[in-house]
Each structure stands twice: as structure tokens, then as C-alpha cells.
């Protein structure tokens, strides 16, 4: 296979000798010409003159992956190039699950794909399933082998078969790609412990405490309860290893270009197995710089852009999702600003939306919600948000002191209130949650718990209170109405469509006992699921039927294409959130009552946005905005467009 001088023009002639088929040669060369300059520019910004050796190696990796890419995936590549906004469509609804909790094995997941299809799912994120270390493994995020599946789930062939089945039904497979660290049992770490200088350079190793102590001055602790500090002594290495998250997770040295080359190979290998979206885990932590918190460094975005360019050349059907739980001013960089605009990740988590949903639900006040959304700069129009009510993780109260101050709140005080409220300690709270990772020094108290239990359904059912049960169901559906009506990709966490409650027995599994996040990671009860779907009159059945209705309504609304942003509109009532979307087909106004009270909402506030008449796409009802107020029932949601 002929090599290409990376400094020569990237035209068809430069790669033709690597192909027997002229059409495939042209396809690869055209993509190389399109994305090659971006690749070189970002690599040079990070690695300088080292790219002279790196680029030929990357080209060999890409050519091999292109030649071995299955024909049906190459057809998908062409389809996605013709419809680059596939991830932004209103019918794009996601589902997030642990494969074993959902159906035992990958073949079990495949058996239940019709369930997902019936729910309207187009995007399935299976939580970490690549082979982790044995025993404690941070929920699967301590990967020991990126090219193997957990043995209890099946094989890599099972994964490919599942991906093919999903693809045939129009559902994209999403997997986690842990970029910041590997398990200490990974082959790279084993070679490093054995003294191989090549692999020692894959990690951050220090012979004494001088280096770690310098970094620790500005580094936060991620898990202060069970993994204090950021460095771990290792006898075999005879030094300190950088371990941001847990002692058994070794941070990778991305300043070594060999690490980038390894991950290009991994991404393209998994893409050829049928993975369509990569969740770039812990991406904010990749680059280490003394005197900083070692998050959100500029090199992170160059590295992402380089990885994306390689994926676009070989497998343009693939998309990246940034798992960056950071402040809005930093988050926008993961979707791209300036030279990176729209050229890094295709999607990022809108963690702030989730936090503000629960904040407004507890306070019955949307002023902080409005202020937080205003803090977000516009995203590139070719990117999208991933929104969720709950996820596999705890809820960290990411409320900035500045946003809180602008609405007359104390940031620390409000965060303290939210922790009290959702742990059930606040008087009158409807929530059943657990405090996770209390840090006495900072006052930080995160919260674990399922959507239904945090929204009050567990407490209401235990009390046998029909009114509180009704209100809890309404709260759950309101939260999902906001995420489904926000634009982007709404992500349903497994079991939320059935209003599954906290798992009281999570601690019976020894490796889960010290991590109460497993309280909201129950196993799917398929008998119970059939019962819930069969009876929409029960509280759980009402949630299921209501969610299915919301998904169907979303699917028919072009206004929810993710190229358009939702922006807050001043509301005359502090309990009611107004979100406006300016789409070429007209304005869509989301109206959300975050209180248990019936509200007489001023008609003029809606008339100013929509004109004298409107249609609600959730209830199918028409409104004429005159002098009489619009009556909003407790936790009512409206998706309004101007009447034709």
C-alpha cells in the first residue's frame, strides 16, 4: 500500500495506488482533500513538528479501516452525507440503558428492539459495555480492552449483529468511548508497569511528589469520598500515577501522539462494527497543564477536531457526542467556536437544562431557569444538544453564583436548598433521593434517585394519596415535555417511560453497595412493563401513555429541528416558563407551568408571541387570545403555534 507524503496536495493521485477501484479511490481522496487540512492544522497545533511522523501512520490506519469497512456501512456513509442533519431531525429520540439491566445480554437487547421501535426510539445508547476490569470498575468506565465486549454480555460479533438489526430499523447505536483513562489492567498499563519505555510514555508517571504536589494545588477532587486526590503510588512503576477518577483508572498522556493514533484505530474499528455515535467520556480532562484545573484546555478541542476529521474521512456516518459537564461559557467550545465552529463534536449534553428542570420543580419558580438559558451563547447550527430529565449519574447542582445573584438568590444557599429538597430533608418535600458524595469542605451534596422517585411518585404511592399521585404523574410528564420540546435529541433513561422507582435493594450487590447511584439503575422488569403498557389508567401507565403521546407529537413538528434554538421569553408569572423557537415555518412557543396550582395566565403574553389565535399540538386544542386569561392546570404543558 503506497504511502502519501502528508505535505503534498491531498488529491486523488496521492492515494490512487492504494485502491483497485477507481470510484473508491475518488471517494477516499475527496474526503481526504476536504478534511485533511483540518486534521493537519489541529495536529500541528498540538504536536508541532512531530506530525511529520504521525500523519503517514494515521493515513495507513485510515486506509486500512476504509478498505475493511462493510458495504452496508459505506452506503450509510453516503446517505448521511446527503442528509447531514440526520441527528437534528424531530423524530430523533434517544434511549439510554445498561445492556445487562435492560435485557441481560446483547442478544437479549436485540430481542427487545421491537419495544424500542414501538416507543419511537431512533438512537440507542448502551452504557459502557467494552470489557472493563474485573470487580470495581466505575460502572464500566475502567476499560481493560476496547476491542472486546464484557464476556457476560456476549461477543463483539453479537454487538455487530445488534448494530445491524438496529440500523435496519433506523436506530443508531451509541457507545461510550473513554478517552481520559484506561483500567490499570489494560495492556498499555501492564506494559508500562513492566518497564517498557514506549508504554510508560502513554501515562503521566512521576518519580516523586514534586510534580503531583504542583498539580494538586489547582486540581479539584472528583470523588472525595472514595478516591481522594488525583495521584496514586504504584510499586511496580516505582512512581506516582495520575488517577483523576479512581486509583485503578490511569490517565492517558495525550501529549504523546501515539495515544491519538491508538484512539483513531479504536474509533474506526468500532465504527466498522456498526457504532454510529461515540459518547466521548470525560473529554474535558484530556490535557494537563500546571496552574490550571486541567479541564477545558485548548488542546482538547484540537484533539477532538483531529479525531473527527479522521472519522469523517473513513466513516462520515459517525457522530461525536461530548460528555463535558462544564459551565456554558466552556461548553460551547465542545460544539465549536472560531476556527473549530461546528467542527468538533456534533452533540453535547445540556446538563444545565436538567439541573434547572429540577430546580424549578422544587422552587416553583422559573426565574433562575430563564437566566441560566440566557447565559448560553448560540451553538453552531449544524450541532445539537442532548437533553435529559435523568441519566445514569447523580445530579450535581451546577447553579452558578452569578446566575443566582442576578435573580436575587444566593448560589450556595440555593444549592443547599436543592440538596435538602431532593434528599427529602426539606419540610414538605415530595422527593425521595439520596445524598451522593457530600464534600464538607465545599458543601457540595449531589443527589441520586430515579425520575419518578425524585418527582414524588414513590412518596405519594407509599402514602396512598390519590391527589399527590396525580400531581407526581403530572410533574414527570412536564419534565419530559420540556426536554422533548426543547429541540436537539431528548434522551429517555431506561425505566423512566414506565415511571420505575428507586431500587431499594441496590446495595445487595457488593460492588454497588458504596455507590448509591445504583439506586436509580434498576433492572428492567419486562412483566411489569407489559402490565404498565396494558393499563394506561394506573399512575405508571399514565406516564407511559403520556410519554408516547409526547413523542408522537414531537415527531410531527418541523419546528423542533435542532438547527433552531429554544430561547426564554420573559414570563409575567414566575411559575410559568416560556420557550420560543423561531423556525422558518413559524414560531413554536412552549408554555410550562412549574407549580401544583392552577394559574390564570395573561393572554396578552401569548398573543404578543403568536398573534390572536394558536393551536396546541399536545392537546389538539385551539386558543383565541382575548381579554380572558388562559387557564393552566397544575404542571400543564402547551406546544403552541400560530393558527393558520
Per-residue pLDDT reduced to its tens digit, 491-517: 999 999 999 999 999 999 988 898 999
Mean pLDDT of 407-424: 97
Cell of 630: 388562559
B/e letters for 415-444, b = 16+ CB within 10 Å, e = fewer, are bbbbbbbbbbebeebbbbbbbbbeeeeeeb
Percentage of the residues of the chain whose pLDDT score is greater than 70: 97
Contact 256, 296 (CB under 8 A): no
Region of poorest pLDDT, from 25-29, 44-48, 384-388, 469-473? 25-29
Predicted confidence band at 18 (pLDDT cuts at 50, 70, 90)?
Answer: confident
Which helix or strand (DSSP H or E) is residue 14 part of? helix 12-15
CA 1 to chain CA centroid, Å, is 39
B/e letters for 58-89, b = 16+ CB within 10 Å, e = fewer, are bbebbbbbbeebeeebbebbeebeeeeebbbb
Contact 452, 463 (CB under 8 A): no
Q: In a 10 Å sphere around its CB, with 0-12 CB exposed, 13-18 middle and 19+ buried, how is residue 523 labelled?
A: middle
State yes or no: pLDDT of 342 exceeds 90. Answer: yes
Q: What is the pLDDT of residue 226?
A: 65
Predicted confidence band at 13 (pLDDT cuts at 50, 70, 90)?
Answer: low
Per-residue pLDDT reduced to its tens digit, 519-548: 999 999 999 999 999 999 999 999 999 999
Per-residue pLDDT reduced to its tens digit, 104-141: 999 999 999 999 999 999 999 999 999 999 988 988 99
- Rounded Cα distance between 302 and 279, Å, is 17
β-strand 489-493 against 143-149: which pairing, if any?
unpaired
Active-site residues, by number, are 281, 323
Per-residue pLDDT reduced to its tens digit, 215-232: 999 998 887 766 788 999
Contact 68, 272 (CB under 8 A): yes
Q: What is the average pLDDT value for the chain, to the nearest integer?
A: 95
Per-residue pLDDT reduced to its tens digit, 542-570: 999 999 999 999 999 999 999 999 999 99
State yes or no: pLDDT of 420 exceeds 70. Answer: yes
Mean pLDDT of 277-284: 97
Q: What is the pLDDT of residue 28?
A: 95
Per-residue pLDDT reduced to its tens digit, 356-403: 999 999 999 999 999 999 999 999 999 999 999 999 999 999 999 999
- Rounded Cα distance between 426 and 613, Å, is 42
State yes or no: pLDDT of 1 exceeds 50. Answer: no
State yes or no: pLDDT of 11 exceeds 90. Answer: no
- Rounded Cα distance between 461 and 474, Å, is 14
- Rounded Cα distance between 278 and 271, Å, is 9
Amino acid at each position: 500500500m503506497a504511502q502519501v507524503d502528508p505535505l503534498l496536495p491531498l488529491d486523488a493521485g496521492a492515494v490512487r495506488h492504494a485502491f483497485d477501484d477507481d470510484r473508491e479511490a475518488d471517494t477516499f481522496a475527496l474526503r481526504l482533500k476536504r478534511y485533511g487540512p483540518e486534521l493537519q492544522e489541529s495536529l500541528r497545533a498540538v504536536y508541532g513538528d512531530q506530525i511529520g511522523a504521525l500523519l503517514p501512520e494515521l493515513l495507513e490506519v485510515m486506509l486500512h479501516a476504509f478498505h475493511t469497512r462493510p458495504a452496508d456501512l459505506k452506503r450509510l456513509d453516503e446517505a448521511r452525507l446527503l442528509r447531514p442533519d440526520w441527528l437534528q431531525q424531530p423524530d430523533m429520540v434517544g434511549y439510554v440503558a445498561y445492556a445487562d439491566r435492560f435485557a441481560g445480554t446483547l442478544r437479549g437487547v436485540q430481542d427487545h428492539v421491537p419495544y424500542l421501535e414501538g416507543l419511537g426510539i431512533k438512537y440507542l445508547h448502551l452504557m459502557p459495555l467494552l470489557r472493563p476490569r474485573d470487580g470495581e470498575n466505575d460502572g464500566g468506565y475502567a476499560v481493560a480492552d476496547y476491542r472486546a465486549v464484557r464476556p457476560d454480555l456476549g461477543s463483539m460479533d453479537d454487538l455487530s449483529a445488534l448494530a445491524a438489526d438496529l440500523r435496519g430499523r433506523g436506530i443508531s447505536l451509541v457507545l461510550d468511548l473513554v478517552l481520559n483513562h484506561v483500567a490499570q489492567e489494560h495492556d498499555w498499563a501492564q506494559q508500562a508497569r513492566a518497564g517498557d519505555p514506549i508504554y510508560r510514555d502513554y501515562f503521566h508517571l512521576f518519580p516523586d511528589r514534586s510534580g503531583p504536589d504542583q498539580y494538586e494545588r489547582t486540581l479539584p477532587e472528583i470523588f472525595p469520598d472514595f478516591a481522594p486526590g488525583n495521584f496514586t503510588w504504584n510499586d511496580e512503576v516505582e512512581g506516582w500515577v495520575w488517577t483523576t477518577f479512581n486509583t485503578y483508572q490511569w490517565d492517558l498522556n495525550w501529549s504523546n501522539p501515539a495515544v491519538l493514533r491508538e484512539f483513531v484505530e479504536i474509533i474506526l474499528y468500532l465504527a466498522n462494527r456498526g457504532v454510529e455515535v461515540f459518547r466521548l467520556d470525560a473529554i474535558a480532562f484530556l490535557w494537563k497543564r500546571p496552574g490550571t484545573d486541567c479541564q477545558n484546555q485548548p488542546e482538547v478541542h484540537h484533539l477532538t477536531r483531529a479525531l473527527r476529521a479522521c472519522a469523517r474521512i473513513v466513516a462520515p456516518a459517525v457522530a461525536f457526542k461530548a460528555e463535558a459537564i462544564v459551565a456554558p461559557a466552556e461548553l460551547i467550545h465542545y460544539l465549536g467556536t472560531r476556527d473549530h465552529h461546528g467542527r468538533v463534536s456534533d452533540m453535547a449534553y445540556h446538563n444545565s437544562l436538567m439541573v434547572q428542570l429540577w430546580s424549578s420543580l422544587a422552587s416553583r419558580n422559573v426565574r433562575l431557569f430563564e437566566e441560566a438559558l440566557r447565559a448560553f451563547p448560540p451553538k453552531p447550527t449544524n450541532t445539537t444538544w442532548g437533553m435529559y430529565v435523568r441519566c445514569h449519574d447523580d445530579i450535581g447542582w451546577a447553579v452558578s453564583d452569578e446566575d443566582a445573584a442576578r435573580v436575587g438568590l444566593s448560589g450556595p444557599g440555593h444549592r443547599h436548598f436543592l440538596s435538602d429538597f431532593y434528599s427529602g430533608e426539606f419540610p414538605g418535600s415530595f422527593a425521595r433521593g439520596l445524598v451522593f458524595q457530600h464534600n464538607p469542605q465545599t458543601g457540595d451534596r449531589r443527589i441520586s434517585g430515579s425520575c419518578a422517585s425524585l418527582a414524588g411518585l414513590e412518596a405519594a404511592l407509599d402514602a396512598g394519596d390519590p391527589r399527590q399521585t396525580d400531581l407526581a404523574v403530572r410533574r414527570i410528564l412536564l419534565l419530559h415535555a420540556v426536554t422533548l420540546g426543547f429541540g436537539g435529541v431528548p434522551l429517555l433513561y431506561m425505566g423512566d417511560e414506565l415511571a420505575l422507582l428507586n431500587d431499594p435493594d441496590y446495595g445487595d450487590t457488593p460492588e454497588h453497595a458504596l455507590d448509591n447511584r445504583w439506586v436509580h439503575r434498576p433492572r428492567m422488569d419486562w412483566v411489569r412493563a407489559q402490565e404498565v403498557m396494558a393499563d394506561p389508567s394506573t399512575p405508571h401507565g399514565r406516564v407511559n401513555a403520556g410519554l408516547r403521546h409526547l413523542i408522537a407529537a414531537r415527531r410531527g413538528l418541523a419546528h423542533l429541528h435542532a438547527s433552531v434554538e429554544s430561547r426564554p421569553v420573559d414570563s409575567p408569572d414566575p411559575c410559568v416558563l416560556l420557550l420560543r423557537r423561531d423556525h422558518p415555518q413559524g414560531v413554536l412557543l412552549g408554555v410550562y407551568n412549574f407549580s401544583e396550582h392552577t394559574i390564570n395566565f395573561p393572554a396578552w403574553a401569548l398573543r404578543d408571541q403568536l398573534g390572536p389565535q394558536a393551536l396546541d399540538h399536545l392537546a389538539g386544542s385551539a386558543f383565541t387570545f382575548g381579554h380572558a386569561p388562559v387557564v393552566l392546570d397544575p404542571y400543564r404543558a402547551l406546544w403552541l403555534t400560530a393558527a393558520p
